[in-house]
Amino acid sequence: MKNEIDSKTLLLVYEHIQLHGELVDEGKMLNGVTAFSDFDGYTVYLKTNGAQLRFGFHNTYHLDYEKEDQKLVFMDAIHRIKDLALNEQSQT
């Protein structure tokens, strides 16, 4: 899993969800991905149904999931939101 997603992508996706997501109990949600941070903002989380990514100090992350298909759904959702964010940036 290490280095499958670069830190720039994770931060881009997190920020896009924070700007465009719907407010939910845990944070903001967009296209099935919930984004939230810990109380001090040093660790951010991206979560889908069945998978959760924790991104923190030194640009390290850990992705928790039980089944491979949960990981694939998570990765697909992250890449779709990344594409949305990049498309929006190119239009400005």
What average pLDDT does the structure give for the chain? 94
Query: Does the residue 36 lie in any domain?
Result: yes
pTM of the model: 0.92
> Which residues constitute the domain of residue 35?
7-90
Q: What band does 58 get if pLDDT is binned at 50, 70 and 90?
A: confident
Query: Does the residue 1 lie in any domain?
Result: no
Q: Which of 38, 34, 15 is nearest to 25 (CA)?
A: 34
Alpha helices, H only, the chain? 7-20, 68-90
Q: Which residue has the tokens 């700007």?
A: 19
Q: Which of 75, 8, 22, 67 is nearest to 48 (CA)?
A: 75
User: Is 39 or 23 the better-scoring residue by pLDDT?
Assistant: 23
CA distance 31 to 1: 23
pLDDT at residue 57, rounded to an integer: 83
Q: Does the pLDDT value for residue 1 go beyond 60?
A: no
Q: Does the pLDDT value for residue 46 go beyond 90?
A: yes
The number of distinct structural domains making up the chain is: 1
Query: Does the residue 80 lie in any domain?
Result: yes
